[in-house]
Chain A
Amino acid sequence: MRLRCPLCGERDRREFTYKGAAVALDRPATEAWSADWDDYLHNRANPAGETRDLWQHAAGCGAWLVVTRDTVTHSIADVRLARGEGTA
């Protein structure tokens, strides 16, 4: 699997570190505990198919990336900088 970093170009999977589902970008608006927080922290759609998740180009430019990809075929649809995405 190779990812096309918007800054560095297409790079080997070894250069990237995985964080998890991109829900991490959408922090609940309220500070008080609610089901939204449980969903944000723990529960996952975990789709077999298209997913959005967060990766860091750790051995490259260091940028956090939002990757849209297929969890079954490993094909990559889109890679963009996480900066400016989501609410967090």
Chain B
Amino acid sequence: MRFSGFRVLREGLTGNRGWAPHWRDPEPKSDYDVVIVGGGGHGLATAFYLAKEHGITNVAVLEKGYLGGGNVGRNTTIVRANYFLPGNSEFYSHSLKLWEGMEEELNFNVMHSQRGLINLFHSDGQRDAFARRGNAMVNQGDDAILLDREGVRKLLPYLDFENTRFPIYGGLYHPRGGTARHDAVAWGYARGADARGVDLIQNCEVTGIDVEQGRVTGVQTTRGAIRAKKVAIVVAGRSSQVAAMAGLRLPIESHVLQAFVTEGLKPVIDHVVSFGMGHFYISQSDKGGLVFGGDLDFYASYAARGNLPMVEHVMEAGMTLMPMIGKAKVLRSWGGIMDMTPDGSPIIDRAPVAGLYLNCGWCYGGFKAVPGSGFSFAHLIATDRHHPPAARYRLDRFATGRGLMDEEGTGAQHNLH
């Protein structure tokens, strides 16, 4: 089933009775070429590109809950390519280009809106760092404009520019940055994968990974055993548990990250605004809600709700940046479990078990990575070779110290990112 203007019009006039489910609900088969564990954004995109780019369609995505019920449906939807270090730069640049073609590629409206992202700075030192980052972005072929205070004021007149602690000196403007409708991305990839023959199997939790003589042979699930030539783990916050089923210990700690949304308001925030010094960022959804968030709760946790001290901290940061926000009523808050690596960058690699592949460590920034990660991971699974833009996301970089990608410059240590 394809979407078109004509189709929407016709369905509208005939009571919307012609729409069919977007994907099948198949029973698991006993055998697949590739089993993907985890039906989040990354797992679904991986399945889609395995089918589309490599013609591998005897594939199952096993999801313990429902598609899009994990972080892909919990994030604050920022899509950007403003990374600084080799490894990250080319990967996110590639991913953003895939975003720009996504709606056509999937024939699905994911509401990708390149409304522009502004990262604020509050000191000369920060300005210098952002100028450098902007240059790296431009050299990568992406866009970046260094704004002075008046430049920021023109775009974001509602900020408190004279705050004593964090006076606004300017911002790094990334016009191609923006937002998207998070679940739509999961649904779009799900539909595209299903249409190419991939089995999307929900309510199917993987409980074991079968390994014989160093080679993966299949998985155990709550819906029975499934044999597979290759198994790909893409389970975000649950990476450590699933990898442990194959005897692996990963360089990952799981942390909770919270987000908040207010009641719907008239359009007021036209961009994505990031206030790094206060660990606060905000945008406005098309429904009108102000969507904002802060930093991790900062201790290992699998409780997808979060604690009050961080709520208080985020609210204080919001008030510091734009006192007008005090008038808005918060409607909901929620949390998601982030797979944090020591250097804050992800892992797309073969596991040290033949036929087992790892995609994890996206920290709090994996939504923007969905298409790039799916594309590169599919390439790795299909060809057993790293896809160039993701070639540096190696599991062994911590052990060897080679190729660490620590964007914040705080060191490759847990709990610093």
- Direct contact between the two chains A and B in their complex (CB within 8 A): yes
Residues of A within 8 A of B (CB): 1, 12-14, 18-21, 35, 38-39, 41-48, 51, 53, 55, 71-74
Contacts of B307 in A (CB 8 A): 1, 13, 74
Contact indicator B414/A44 (Cβ below 8 Å):
yes
Contacts of A55 in B (CB 8 A): 299
Q: Could you tell me the distance between the alpha carbons of A43 and B412 in the complex, rounded to whole angstroms?
A: 12
Q: Could you tell me the distance between the alpha carbons of A20 and B301 in the complex, rounded to whole angstroms?
A: 11
**Chain B nearest CB, measured from A44 CB (Å):** 5
- Given A21-B253, A39-B249, decide whether A46 and B342 contact each other with a Cβ distance below 8 A: no
**Chain B nearest CB, measured from A18 CB (Å):** 4
The answer to whether the Cβ of B219 comes within 8 Å of any Cβ in the partner chain is no
Contact among B238, B244, B251, B300 with A53 in the assembled complex (CB-CB below 8 Å): B300
Contacts of B298 in A (CB 8 A): 18
Q: Could you tell me the distance between the alpha carbons of A38 and B253 in the complex, rounded to whole angstroms?
A: 15
Contact indicator B303/A44 (Cβ below 8 Å):
no
Q: Could you tell me the distance between the alpha carbons of A51 and B415 in the complex, rounded to whole angstroms?
A: 16
Contacts of A14 in B (CB 8 A): 309
Contact among B241, B252, B303 with A74 in the assembled complex (CB-CB below 8 Å): B303
Contact indicator B309/A13 (Cβ below 8 Å):
yes
What per-residue 1/0 map shows which CB atoms of B206-241 lie under 8 Å from chain A?
000000000000000000000000000000001011
- Given A20-B300, A72-B302, decide whether A46 and B415 contact each other with a Cβ distance below 8 A: no
Chain B residue at smallest Cβ distance from A19: B415
Besides A12-B309, A18-B300, A46-B254, 19 new A-B residue pairs in contact (Cβ under 8 A), listed by A number: A1-B307, A18-B298, A18-B415, A20-B253, A38-B398, A41-B342, A41-B398, A41-B413, A42-B342, A42-B398, A44-B240, A44-B252, A46-B300, A48-B238, A48-B241, A48-B302, A51-B300, A72-B302, A74-B307
Q: Could you tell me the distance between the alpha carbons of A47 and B244 in the complex, rounded to whole angstroms?
A: 10
Q: Could you tell me the distance between the alpha carbons of A48 and B398 in the complex, rounded to whole angstroms?
A: 23
Contact indicator B300/A21 (Cβ below 8 Å):
yes
Contacts of B301 in A (CB 8 A): 71, 74
Q: Could you tell me the distance between the alpha carbons of A39 and B412 in the complex, rounded to whole angstroms?
A: 14
Contact indicator A46/B399 (Cβ below 8 Å):
no
Contacts of A73 in B (CB 8 A): 303
The answer to whether the Cβ of B250 comes within 8 Å of any Cβ in the partner chain is yes
Contacts of B251 in A (CB 8 A): 42-44
**Chain B nearest CB, measured from A52 CB (Å):** 11
Contacts of A45 in B (CB 8 A): 240, 244, 249
Contacts of B241 in A (CB 8 A): 46, 48
Task: Name the interface residues of B340-399: CB closer than 8 Å to any CB of A.
Answer: 342, 398-399
Contacts of B244 in A (CB 8 A): 45
Q: Could you tell me the distance between the alpha carbons of A18 and B250 in the complex, rounded to whole angstroms?
A: 20
Contacts of A71 in B (CB 8 A): 254, 300-303
Contact indicator A20/B249 (Cβ below 8 Å):
no
Q: Could you tell me the distance between the alpha carbons of A43 and B244 in the complex, rounded to whole angstroms?
A: 12
Q: Could you tell me the distance between the alpha carbons of A1 and B303 in the complex, rounded to whole angstroms?
A: 12
What per-residue 1/0 map shows which CB atoms of B391-417 lie under 8 Å from chain A?
000000011000000000000111100
Contacts of B252 in A (CB 8 A): 44, 46
Task: Name the interface residues of B283-319: CB closer than 8 Å to any CB of A.
Answer: 298-303, 307, 309
Contact indicator A53/B398 (Cβ below 8 Å):
no
Contacts of A18 in B (CB 8 A): 298-300, 415
Q: Could you tell me the distance between the alpha carbons of A42 and B399 in the complex, rounded to whole angstroms?
A: 8
Chain A residue at smallest Cβ distance from B304: A72
Contacts of B398 in A (CB 8 A): 38, 41-42
Contacts of A46 in B (CB 8 A): 240-241, 250, 252-254, 300
Q: Could you tell me the distance between the alpha carbons of A24 and B266 in the complex, rounded to whole angstroms?
A: 50
**Chain A nearest CB, measured from B340 CB (Å):** 9
**Chain B nearest CB, measured from A68 CB (Å):** 13
Contact indicator A43/B302 (Cβ below 8 Å):
no
Q: Could you tell me the distance between the alpha carbons of A40 and B29 in the complex, rounded to whole angstroms?
A: 41
**Chain B nearest CB, measured from A41 CB (Å):** 7
Q: Could you tell me the distance between the alpha carbons of A39 and B298 in the complex, rounded to whole angstroms?
A: 21
Mind listing 26 A-B residue pairs with CB under 8 Å? Answer: A14-B309, A18-B298, A18-B299, A19-B415, A20-B253, A20-B300, A20-B415, A21-B253, A38-B399, A39-B249, A41-B342, A41-B398, A42-B342, A42-B398, A42-B399, A43-B250, A43-B251, A44-B253, A46-B241, A46-B250, A46-B253, A46-B300, A47-B240, A48-B254, A71-B254, A71-B301
